[in-house]
Structure 1
Amino acid sequence: MQEAEQTSVAVVTPRRPGHGAERASAQAPQQRQARIATLLTLLLEQPISLYAAAVLRMGYGFLYLVFLLREFPHRDEIWGPGSPWTPELARQLFDQTGWASILTLSDSRAYFEVCYTAAVVTSALLTLGWRTRAVSVLFAVVVASFHARAIYMLDGGDNLIVLMALYLVVTACGRRWSLDARRTRLRASAGKTARLPRDQARGELRRHLREARLTVITVLHNCGMLVIAAQVCFLYGSAGLYKVQGATWGDGTALHYALNLDVFRPWPELSAMADRHDVLIAIVCYLTVLVQVAFPFVLFGRLKYPVLTMLLGMHVGIAVFLGLPLFSGAMIVADAVFLPDRFYRYLGQLSRRVVPWADVREARTRTPADAALVPPQSGPAV
């Protein structure tokens, strides 16, 4: 009897060959659909790296403000009517390149002074985050205009700032650490809410329009942050691959020649002291090439943190030894896009301990519009 039962069980419950493979193949479409749904949710509903966008806004606004103030005594020779690169020469170049500049609309010195003052004010307002949507557009126009006006007069350090200024226009860079965020927080704490119309149809239409607007803002912001990250990766990767092709980088002598060029020696004694360490210069050359080539491939692991630290040291060295502070500052700010939001939240809490009046607790007084745009858990860094 027992043998018969065992035989029947053996007949009823055999495992068919490939049964596990069939289950895996059946679950594969479901997993793909789940991943696509998660990606769409992240793209359409969850803004990523809001704190990083705020750092980019403050960094580039402050950097360009300092740049304009530093060049204030030389503004006429660089951008004004008294420049060797005259407005007429600039307009002839624009006909060939397709660029444009508000500085060439008039040759009047008074007009130029007004434009320069407006550029300084715009940079300061962007740094503070006042009416960020409109000011970011003005900042992009200012940076592009000043860059195009004196494209042969500067050292090229503002090239990256031009690109980042254009990308920041589509990001929600004013939702954190800005006067706009503070104003929104104060309105929410005061209980000021939008008054809905009495007609139900109009109320539904208004609600749908508000949801569509928030979705568009989120999509533009996420795409803008991803483009910024891709731009930085492309910059480092192409720079590293270009260095690989050079013989001086291959034998570790590239920095030796750079330190002995008069145009890149702001402090000749310091450059001469660094040039005495041949082995150290060769190591720095090889590390520079290795870090730049490997940068796009280490962004999705913890290895990116030591790489970002080495890049920070590299840019500080470029600013000090080669006299390119604008370029180094632009690159340091661009690298900030790869740091997670939890790092910036920690910095906000630390600043609140140091400066008691610095209120960073935006989550407790979130407005309905901000709550619809920002989920309880902050999005991952780019």
Structure 2
Amino acid sequence: MWTLVTGRPVSLYATAVLRIGYGLLYLVFLLREFPHRDEIWGPGSPWTPALAAQLFDQTGWYSFLIVSDSRGYFEFCYVLALVTSALFMLGWRTRAMSVLFAAVVASFHARAIFMTDGGDNLLLLMTLYLVLTACGRRWSLDARRERIKAARADVAPTRERSLAGRQLRAAHVTLTTVVHNCGVFVIAAQVCILYGSAGLYKVQGSFWDDGTALHYVLNLDLFQPWPAVSHAVDQYPLVMAVVGYLTVLTQVAFPFVLFGRLKYPVLIALLGMHVAIAVVLGLPLFSGTMIIADAVFLPDRFYTFLPGLLRRAVLRRGLRTPAQPEETGLGSVPAQGGHPGSRGAGEPVGRPARHGGPSPSGRTVPDGKPSGQTFTDRKPSGPTVAE
């Protein structure tokens, strides 16, 4: 176990996917709510900064959005949140950006805690956990800068470190590895606890026991972004009951199938469930947060296999070479000119070229021998496929 924690960083590609996913998700969320930013987080919100400050005194939360009631200060904070989300997604100075991104998410979440859904709670937890991880070592601007630096170091001579410097370097690497691996394990444990507790709570409910839970959910006005779609889905009670039982089964079984191949069909089922929640119930932020969190359970070899798969798909579809014309016999166009000893035009593949006689173009092939003499005791001067 100690070797697993201190040996090497695990799930570097998975944490990179979490960084890109959560940065992009929050950036899209802020852009989506840009027209309504003042009503949700700004000075014009019904939940005024004074009320938010009173709540913070009771709960211990804090938000830098209530430092000032100025409209200009709020706009500056909103632009800062947009820039931070974009830079965190791209992986620029990821260590510093991860801390700033966690502060942004925590401040915006605390400022409008009564105007958000459950997706914000998990997103806040994941951003705090990502501060511990080395999520910028893959698919980031930091990784690109390190590759360039390493390439330059191979060319330029390097100064030999002292023994104390090497020991400090080794201790830093070990500490970073331990903190990163612990952060990954905490993220995985958080998702397992979430799924397991959600499934166990559903087992205790009578509505999930008789298969009518989804029927009641689909008929709530709060979760009907498209009422026609909700009513159409509700027309199949048997299907709804089966989906309800499968939901409970996959959530309860999820923590127990992580170390086998059965986790892949379970992850696919959970992906379908979250997509349905986003479309039918109108909870895209919650569904996106859960889908991105599930990515931590996919091994790094899966993510390293994807770029090659995409390149092969592009080559098969868009860069196909034109088909080569088939070789024909006497009906093909004879080659113009030629080289002494080369195969005559129209000769079948694998047959030696003719010497001393007229070529198909009507000219005599020079061979340096008197005319009419046969040469059965020598090889053709030109190479053949048989050779």
TM-score greater than 0.5 by the shorter chain: yes
What is the identity, as a one-letter code, of the residue corresponding to 2:55? L
Aligned to 2:94: 132
What is the identity, as a one-letter code, of the residue corresponding to 2:53? R
Q: Residue 177 of structure 1 is aligned with which of 135, 139, 145?
A: 139
Residue pairs, 1:39-188, within 5 angstroms: 39-188=1-150
**Aligned structure 1 segments of 4 or more residues deviating by more than 3 angstroms:** 192-197, 350-356
Q: Retained in 2: the 8 A contact 1:56–1:336?
A: yes
Q: Retained in 2: the 8 A contact 1:256–1:275?
A: yes
Distance (whole Å) between structure 2 residues aligned to residue 94 and residue 40 of structure 1: 40
Aligned alpha-carbon RMSD (Å) = 1.5
Aligned to 2:245: 286
Q: CA deviation at 1:348?
A: 2.7
Q: Give SS of 1:47's match.
A: coil
Distance (whole Å) between structure 2 residues aligned to residue 181 and residue 354 of structure 1: 26
Q: Retained in 2: the 8 A contact 1:319–1:328?
A: yes
Q: Give SS of 2:46's match.
A: coil
What is the identity, as a one-letter code, of the residue corresponding to 1:120? L
Q: Give SS of 1:157's match.
A: helix
Distance (whole Å) between structure 1 residues aligned to residue 314 and residue 166 of structure 2: 39
Distance (whole Å) between structure 2 residues aligned to residue 92 and residue 287 of structure 1: 44
Aligned to 2:167: 208
Distance 1:246 1:71, change over 3 A: same
**Alignment deviations for residues 272-291 of structure 1 (CA, whole Å, 9 cap, x no partner):** 11000000000000011111
What is the identity, as a one-letter code, of the residue corresponding to 1:166? L
Q: Give SS of 1:42's match.
A: helix
Distance (whole Å) between structure 2 residues aligned to residue 186 and residue 352 of structure 1: 24
**Alignment deviations for residues 89-137 of structure 1 (CA, whole Å, 9 cap, x no partner):** 0010001111111101111111110010000000001111111000000
Distance 1:190 1:352, change over 3 A: farther
What is the identity, as a one-letter code, of the residue corresponding to 2:153? G
Alignment gaps of 5+ in structure 1: 1-38, 357-382
Q: Give SS of 1:146's match.
A: helix
What is the identity, as a one-letter code, of the residue corresponding to 2:216? Y
Q: CA deviation at 1:355?
A: 8.0
Distance (whole Å) between structure 1 residues aligned to residue 157 and residue 87 of structure 2: 27
Q: Which has the larger radius of gyration?
A: 2
Aligned to 1:248: 207
Aligned to 1:304: 263
- The TM-score normalised by the length of structure 1 is 0.80
What is the identity, as a one-letter code, of the residue corresponding to 2:178? V
* Correspondence 1:322 to 2:250: no
Q: Matched residues, percent identical?
A: 71
Distance (whole Å) between structure 2 residues aligned to residue 42 and residue 296 of structure 1: 20
Aligned to 2:176: 217
Q: Give SS of 1:191's match.
A: helix
Distance (whole Å) between structure 1 residues aligned to residue 306 and residue 222 of structure 2: 38
Q: Retained in 2: the 8 A contact 1:44–1:218?
A: yes
Distance (whole Å) between structure 1 residues aligned to residue 314 and residue 146 of structure 2: 21
Q: Give SS of 1:158's match.
A: helix
Q: CA deviation at 1:188?
A: 1.4
What is the identity, as a one-letter code, of the residue corresponding to 1:47? P
Q: CA deviation at 1:194?
A: 8.6
Q: Give SS of 1:140's match.
A: helix
Q: Retained in 2: the 8 A contact 1:53–1:173?
A: yes
Q: Residue 196 of structure 1 is aligned with which of 159, 176, 184?
A: 159
Q: Retained in 2: the 8 A contact 1:196–1:203?
A: no
Task: Report which structure shows greater RCO (CA 8 Å, sep ≥6).
Answer: 1
**Alignment deviations for residues 305-337 of structure 1 (CA, whole Å, 9 cap, x no partner):** 000000000000000000000000000000000
Q: CA deviation at 1:253?
A: 0.6
Distance (whole Å) between structure 2 residues aligned to residue 207 and residue 350 of structure 1: 40
- How many residues are aligned here? 314
Q: CA deviation at 1:350?
A: 3.2
Distance (whole Å) between structure 2 residues aligned to residue 104 and residue 88 of structure 1: 8
Distance (whole Å) between structure 2 residues aligned to residue 131 and residue 194 of structure 1: 26
Residue pairs, 1:348-363, within 5 angstroms: 348-352=307-311
What is the identity, as a one-letter code, of the residue corresponding to 2:114? Y
Q: Retained in 2: the 8 A contact 1:102–1:145?
A: yes
Distance 1:209 1:339, change over 3 A: same
- The TM-score normalised by the length of structure 2 is 0.79
Q: Give SS of 1:75's match.
A: helix
Residue pairs, 1:327-338, within 5 angstroms: 327-338=286-297
